[in-house]
Structure formats: structure tokens, C-alpha cells
A and B are shown apart, each in its own frame.
Chain A
Amino acid sequence: MYFRRSLFAAALFAGALTLGGPAWAEGKLNIYNWFDYLPQELIDKFSKEHGVEVTMDTYDSNEALLARLKAGVTGYDVGVPGDYMVAILIKEGLLEKVQPNKLENYKHIDPKFVDVYFDKGREYSVPYQWGTTGFMVDTATYGGDIDTLKVIFEPPAELSGKINMLKDVNDVINMGLRYLGHSRCNNNPEQLKEVNALLQGAKKHWLSFNSDGAKEVLVSGDAAAGMIWNGFGMRARAEKGTLKYSYPKEGMTAWMDNLVVFKGAQNVENAKKFMNFMMEPENAATLTNFARYTAGVMGTEPFLDDELKTAYEVNPPEGVSMEFVPPCEDDVIRLYDRIWTNLLK
């Protein structure tokens, strides 16, 4: 009897996991966003101003977002894909062409982010935050030069076995390509073989692959070095002062996350209101103060925390090379996927 009862309990448990699907109606907005990337304060403010009930789910990589969208109806209205993922989502027909360039607050967008490679003239997306992908080192553990990718791929003894990597195929492979001095979106078999060997050889020095725990693992001291995005890194430093963001001499990836509306969204009008709301400089500043990256709209300065004006993570020293990396060709993506699967298995 208890056997049966425990089976029943297990079934109930499984059922509870799958229930609780999306709900839509007038006055609702369902957001699908990166983890830890939108302060409650802004959700509340938007709800109050527009009488809209907001719900939010989170993901931890652009690829996870893509997988969810490809799997079919999600019930989400808006999302925050990174630059190259916006290009892919447009190509795959997964975004609604909502023409945010006709919205009232569009005028606040920094002109240099209007004709971006992934969405020329902003027909689908508006800037959310932009930043860099790098890594941090606990200077209390390792006092040497941290401005090189050698720290990650051929780490000093102090850091070996204490490195956390982001669970992100492009960021990790691009890092490897930079370390070896090869170009991005590379389909040269010899060079990719070198990357494959580099990653396989470095794996023994790595503690874990974790994106949503990237800050926690550094703050707790389980990892003494770890890949991280600059703003998330600043938040890590606030909790542990000895962490320092690296500006590797080999270069680094810059990215921009963008607010988009998904194809078939149930609440397109509310989604557009939300886009407009997030382009308001004061709101963009509230977001920036929380996420600690950089806004893509102008006029946020009066509302920004003083610390952001001088923080090392968002004010790179002269001469650091940063690049946006567009999506690669299909054959390159397949090769990357195989290198990545090979690394994790």
C-alpha cells in the first residue's frame, strides 16, 4: 500500500512540475528574460502605470531561449536575446516586426546603436543593456598578471581546478580562438582542431560549467577565477572586494541584449508599451543601476549611481580590444556545436 502511495505521490509531484502554464488575457505581459536581469522595482512601476499584470520566467543562455522558442508555443510576449541571437531569431521568423522605431521614446536611443548589424534601423528590437564577457580573478589567491587568457587556458597552480566557465558555446570557443590568435567564425579545420585540443587540455583545470551561478561560485570562494559578464562581475566585487575583472590583451567579446517581441505574442500592445517604458531614460537608468552594465539609451546619467561612473568593470582602460561577434555560417555553427558537445561529454 505504501508502495502504491509513494508512486501516487511521485505522480502528483511530476504533475505539479508540469502545471502552471502561461496565462494570457488583456492587461497581461509575460516576460522571458535572463536570470537576475530585471529589478522588481521596474516591474511594479510598469504594472502600476499601465495596469498590466506582469509575469516573468528566466533562462541562462541565448541557446536555451532559442531551444524554448523552437519547441513551439511558449506564451511569452517579450524576451531579451543577445545581438547575434536577435539575428538568428529574425532569420528563423521567430520575432514579431513591431517597429519600435515608431515608438515615442525611440528618440532616446544612442545613435550608434540604431544601425546595428543584427537589426538595421531597429525594426524588431530596442537596446536593453550592453557589456562585455570576460573573467574575474580573486587577487587574494593569485597576484600575477590577470590581463591574459593564459589564466584560463594554462592557469598558474594557484588557480588550477578553481576555474568556473560560462555554459556558453560561443563565449568559450571565441575565447579559445582569441588565445590561439585565430579569427572568429572560423571554419578552418586545422585551426578548429587546435581549439578542440586546447579546450580538452584545459578542462582538467576547470571546476565547473555554470552561468547562473557564475557570481555565487566566485563570491563563495569555490572558484578563484571565473568567466563572467562585466556587470554581474561588478555585483560579485560588491560582495567580495578582492575580485578583479580582467581585460585580456587577446581581446574580448562585447554584446548587446535587446528587448524583442516574439512571433504570435498574445499581448503585442502591452509589449510595445513595455518597450517604450524601458527606453525612458529614468527607467533605463534604474535597470542599469540594478544590472550594472551600460544602457543603450542616452540621458541616463542624472539617474545613475555614482559608482557606475568610475567602476573598473564598465570603464575599460585605453587600448582594450572589444568586438561584437555576429552569428557564424551554418557549417561553422555545426562544428562549434560538436566541439562543445565533445568538451562537455
Chain B
Amino acid sequence: MSAAVPPVRKERNNMRARAALMSPALLIIGGFLVAPLFVVLVYSFLTPGTYGGVIWEWTTDAYVQFLFEKDIFDETLIFSTAYLQIYSRSFVQAAASTAICFLIGFPTAYFIATRPAAQRNMWVLLVTVPYWINLLIRTIAMLFLVRDNGPLNHLLLSWGIIDEPIHIAYTNFGVGIGLVYSYLPFMVLPIYATIERFDFRLVEAAFDLYADRWTVLWKIILPLCAPGVIAGSLLVFIPSLGAFIAPDLLGGGKNLMIGNLIAMQFQASRNWPFGAAAAMILMTIVLVTLIFYARRQGRSTVRLH
């Protein structure tokens, strides 16, 4: 009989069980998140070794370097926007790809969610099929398609639509195409999930109340699907921000994005602390963005109720 167990002991058992159940999660967070992050944080305050690695002397040089450029030759500090430019370029690229993914992804998700239930899974499957192939290979394939002498330009030339090949490969536009292509399903799937659960009787009700199509979309469907849109946007925006393969291949390695900047510090530039600092700065920005979104979402949910 449970009444026979003293309440204190019951409480203690409960605590123990809870701790045991939580331990896998805590271990994963501690071992795979906190510990590596701590290493990155520590490294960002160390001195770079000439051939890579770090020297154990504490310094904030890496963070200073982010905003101020030591003149390459006489060591004076000058305010420099070079790295800020890379960050803002990455933000513009990521935001643009997120917007385009939304413009393509929302109608796609709407289309899939409004098919008969039996067909939907097939459509979802089709969206994910390209993801069975490695990202690197898909990006190289995209490069082959859009380059100056690739099939896309040949087709447009032979149809007489253009006289000169359009330069897509090795431009920022090319990087954008690569990002959209890479992350589109991450937009489609969460939106699809919310539209699928959407109660279409609300749309009928709106029409009965003389709403036009635009109002229905703007005032009914979009607000109720906002969680999916926000989830999808985050899933596209965050990996785009740190993208590495698309700028390297489709951008020709000329216009760095944050991911390339960080990778470069660990290879050619051999400045691990600066790479670590750049990663920390990126993470902070993403975290702030997430908090901002979370708050907004929280508020809008309240308003809906």
C-alpha cells in the first residue's frame, strides 16, 4: 500500500528516479555541448602558434582582431570592417535564402497538405529524395549545371533567350542558389506539418463572413501556420549562416562567408584562437536571434488566445 511509504522517502525515490532518467540527457548536453564549447571558449583567448595549435598565453587579441586590423606591417591598430563585412554578407545571404525558401516552400507545403491523405506521404518523400545524396556531391552537381559552359547556359543560348552566358557560378548569386537548394526541405517540412493540422473549416467560416482570398491567406492561414514558418525559417537561416560548401564551390572561394572564414583560420591562416573567437561571435549572434524569435513567438501566441 502506498500509504505505508513515508512521504519523505517517496519523495526521495522520486528524486532518484528523476535523476536517473535525466542523466542521459545531462551527459549528452555536458559531453557534446558544454565541454566542446568550453574548449572553443578557452582557445579563443590563447595565442596562435606559427604552425597552428595554440601557445598557452592568455590574450584577447582574437577579439580585438575581429574589429581592429593590425596594420599588416607596422602593427598599429586600425578599425576595420573586413570581418564585419563577411558577417553582414553572410547575414544577407542567409536572410535572402530564407526568404526565397519561404516563397517556394510555403506554396509547396500548402500543395502537399491539400492533397488527399493517401498521396501526401509520397509528395513528402519526393521532397526528401535529393537528401539521400551527399550535400557535397549535390553542390558540385549544381556547379556543373549553372557554370558558363554548363547545360543551363547552353539551353538558354540555344533558345535565343540570352546572347552571352549568364555568370552564375563563382558569384554571390550562385552561392544563394546553392543555399536555397541545400536547405529548401527544412522549410517545406515544418510548414507542411502545421498546414496538415490546420482546420480548413476556419477558411470556410472566413469566406462565409465575406473575407476575400487574400484576407483569408493573410489573416487566417499565415498566422495559424506561423509556428511552422518560424521553425522552417530557423532551420534554413541558421545552417545558411554557417554554410561552408556552397560559398567555397559555387562562390569560387573568393567571397568568404562565416563558415569559410572559420575553416580558413584552422587551415591556411593557422590562427586557431581567431577561428575559435569567430565561432563564439557567430554563436552569440545566433543565440540572440533565437531568443528574439522565441520572445516574439511567445507574445504572438498570447495575442492569438
Residues of chain A touching chain B, judged by Cβ–Cβ distance below 8 Å, are: 1-3, 5-7, 9-10, 13, 61, 63-64, 66-67, 70-71, 88, 92, 167, 169, 189, 192-193, 196, 203, 206-210, 220-222, 330, 333-335, 337-342, 344-345
Measured CB to CB, the closest approach of chain A to B217, in angstroms, equals: 21
Q: B254 to A192, Cβ gap below 8 A?
A: no
The total of chain B residues at the interface (CB under 8 A) is 41
| A71: B residues at CB distance < 8 A | 52, 266
| B170: A residues at CB distance < 8 A | 207-208, 222
Q: A345 to B83, Cβ gap below 8 A?
A: yes
Q: A209 to B254, Cβ gap below 8 A?
A: yes
Q: A70 to B53, Cβ gap below 8 A?
A: yes
Most buried by A among B169, B264, B268: B268
Q: B73 to A2, Cβ gap below 8 A?
A: no
A342 and B264 CA atoms in complex are apart in Å by 12
A66 and B267 CA atoms in complex are apart in Å by 8
Q: B254 to A66, Cβ gap below 8 A?
A: no
- Of B85, B189, B252, B261, the contact of A208 (CB 8 Å cutoff): B252
Please, what's the 1-or-0 string for B71-98, where 1 marks a CB less than 8 Å from any CB in chain A?
Answer: 0111000000011011000000000000
Q: A10-B235, A340-B268 are in contact. List 14 more A-B contacts (CB 8 A).
A: A2-B193, A6-B185, A64-B268, A67-B52, A71-B266, A189-B73, A189-B74, A192-B73, A196-B72, A207-B170, A209-B253, A335-B72, A341-B264, A345-B85
- Of B72, B124, B131, B252, the contact of A210 (CB 8 Å cutoff): B252
| A203: B residues at CB distance < 8 A | 254
Counted as pairs of residues, one from A and one from B, with CB atoms less than 8 Å apart, the total is 108
| B169: A residues at CB distance < 8 A | 222
- Of A13, A220, A337, the contact of B270 (CB 8 Å cutoff): A337
Q: A220 to B147, Cβ gap below 8 A?
A: yes
Q: Which residue of B lies closest to A187 (CB)?
A: B73
Q: B74 to A66, Cβ gap below 8 A?
A: no
Q: A67 to B266, Cβ gap below 8 A?
A: yes
| A10: B residues at CB distance < 8 A | 186, 235
A3 and B231 CA atoms in complex are apart in Å by 8
